Structure 1
């Protein structure tokens, strides 16, 4: 990985601003969840609070992309940090003064989710403005590394602070992190202004969606991301705990999740050595790794516990989750590089918003759909079906002619001006 990029003042501002924001993004939901539990929330109440943060993120992400293509990206990034910092600070004050209620906590969580919707498109699209095309591969790798490290550290630190102190202290720390990110983003160049002029934001949204629709390789990659997250969330997040109860137990399930997280870090390091130079069609093969834990879980639920030692199942599931995370990173970074190099700058933020939406939307869809499917065909067959869906999607996208040519053909740099 090319750490020398941190010598560039603008990239250094972006790198540390994003790192602090991702730590806050990992810490905030943990603290909000435990705050809701301390207020007496059961499973339903906790689910509502969590949804209050997730839904605005999903609903506003495309709008955030359109806004970042119109306004200075520095302004959007700073505004997102202000929303995130203020929301966590408000939650901390409400809890500290014993004024918090579940509806108020849900409202604060919604503002925090809205901040995240504006943060991702703006900070992703500004990267190319800072480093240019020549360094975009190395910069993309470092950006992905900062995201993975930030989320891992944030989740771990958030849980630790809640355990040692209280949710309100954790929320205050999260607000401080976003405030520091705000100061870092102030160092971003003012010249990174959106290219869209005139018209309305609604037309910008429609223009961004139309661009993705007519750019076939991009549409294929977005659909692959959605399908992969759909299958993984439905199979691993929902049926994984059931398989753990069936076999090696709940405590080891937590360790398996830690191994999965470690795979993200290792995958980012491996991608760093490759420096994002893997062909996009080849990179799609990395998504096959997400089918591995689905197959192992199907075996766990198909074989009687006394036939195979549960520790063996734990080992193989951990290996599969580790491989899935590495494969995901080896796919994601070439996708980011292709988007940065081949999507016209006037569309960058909206394209990143669409990519983020596809990934985020796949998870709740998979978690909702898997239950009825299990009732129809049983958990093992449902898992095999989800794994097969991943394999079919990877095959279709990897063999797609537009995807295979994407590294050789660039989208025209001067698109028709939007009105």
Structure 2
């Protein structure tokens, strides 16, 4: 996420104050960096709105259509263009200033979400939700790779894990509060208002990102590689490191199953069992578990963390299995709590390993291939799960999905190179 602190004028050399800020980052205290504080604020505000969006959108579409197929279509309309443009987004994030990319993408996402909110509030036909969903997916494709490359530019050494933990903690506080708030808003005044809050959060985040003034990139040498040449460099690095692509493939399976079952079948099952309030509570409890994990990870360092990180991810299968067996709110919430803690433990570990072992100059491009590979299967899962549930029943699909998910998380551990990765290594050049 953002680069080194810059002077107020983007055309000047760094001042002594900026050099002092760089020193504080090197000592592992990211909150001493003004640029990181503005990024942290923008991240937190954006996450607050986004935490309400899944519940609000799901029940808002179901309220209008009473159809899991339409819900799947609307969500997929955002996911497909995001995946399709993710690699290009990685090239843009490594080629241009990441603060500029973030503020423009945040502005665009805010406008597109505002359109979605208006359509839901006025109960328009769900087909009208598809174009703004497409635009929102494109803006996400620009945002994610830029986010991936910013933290190493604001923190170094042990500060990298602290920065990742702080960002994850902020996200998880919002995940703890946001879904419950969205459930209550949906029941009381409709899901459109929660989507409207998400739109405002994107716009406020863009204002915060505008306060991050990063140095201009050095002039490109005449005859240097084009963007597509740079993307080939990213692919070469990605494909030559099995510890990266093995985890990417595992999460291609994980995301297809989890997003299809949990995001599509979850609200459908919950509507007939625990209701929107109960579903929001389950999602919020997952956020509590995730928050607990990130608080612990601010201080905890595991020398070789990938084995416990991937092994703990098998806990994400439990909520899916319980969903299929008709468990009540209490047991679903308890399982979601454990799954949230394990998922966030993995997220902080993976972000830290990535920031240490992947060169910063390649981070967004290589990260784009990682995210593309991880996300490309999600539309397949989202579109196929309703069909499979109609043929085999929701219980069979959710339970089988849980078993498949757990298996996928364990397979990368067969690689010795993955098991040996350490987090106390020096940053890659």
When normalised by structure 2's length, the TM-score is 0.76
Task: Give the alignment's Cα RMSD to 1 decimal.
Answer: 4.0
Q: How far is the alpha carbon of 1:402 from its aligned partner?
A: 1.1
- Quote the residue 1:394 is aligned against: 409
Cα distance in 1, alignment partners of residues 421 and 297 from structure 2: 19
Cα distance in 1, alignment partners of residues 179 and 395 from structure 2: 31
**Which aligned pairs between 1:212-227 and structure 2 lie closer than 5 A?**
212-227=238-253
Q: How far is the alpha carbon of 1:222 from its aligned partner?
A: 1.3
- Quote the residue 2:344 is aligned against: 329
Cα distance in 2, alignment partners of residues 35 and 386 from structure 1: 26
- Quote the residue 1:13 is aligned against: 38
Judging changes above 3 Å, is the alpha-carbon distance between structure 1 residues 236 and 141 closer, same or farther for their aligned structure 2 residues? same
- Quote the residue 1:201 is aligned against: 227
- Quote the residue 2:354 is aligned against: 339
- Quote the residue 1:354 is aligned against: 369
Aligned length: 399
Deviations 1:131-179 (A, max 9, x none): 1234101111112122223345444445555665566655554333222
Decide whether the 8 Å contact of 1:36 with 1:105 is kept in 2: no
Q: How far is the alpha carbon of 1:338 from its aligned partner?
A: 0.6
Decide whether the 8 Å contact of 1:14 with 1:188 is kept in 2: yes
SS in 2 for 1:322: helix
1:289 to 310, 315, 318: 315
1:404 to 395, 398, 419: 419
Cα distance in 1, alignment partners of residues 227 and 422 from structure 2: 31
Q: How far is the alpha carbon of 1:195 from its aligned partner?
A: 10
SS in 2 for 1:264: helix
- Quote the residue 2:51 is aligned against: 26
Cα distance in 1, alignment partners of residues 401 and 197 from structure 2: 39
Cα distance in 2, alignment partners of residues 195 and 153 from structure 1: 45
Judging changes above 3 Å, is the alpha-carbon distance between structure 1 residues 368 and 108 closer, same or farther for their aligned structure 2 residues? closer
Which is worse superposed, 83-92 or 333-342? 83-92
Q: How far is the alpha carbon of 1:361 from its aligned partner?
A: 3.7
Cα distance in 2, alignment partners of residues 28 and 236 from structure 1: 15
- Quote the residue 1:132 is aligned against: 156
- Quote the residue 2:107 is aligned against: 82
Cα distance in 1, alignment partners of residues 52 and 115 from structure 2: 15
Cα distance in 2, alignment partners of residues 48 and 394 from structure 1: 28
When normalised by structure 1's length, the TM-score is 0.78
Decide whether the 8 Å contact of 2:179 with 2:281 is kept in 1: no
Judging changes above 3 Å, is the alpha-carbon distance between structure 1 residues 55 and 26 closer, same or farther for their aligned structure 2 residues? farther
- Quote the residue 1:305 is aligned against: none
1:58 to 67, 83, 92: 83
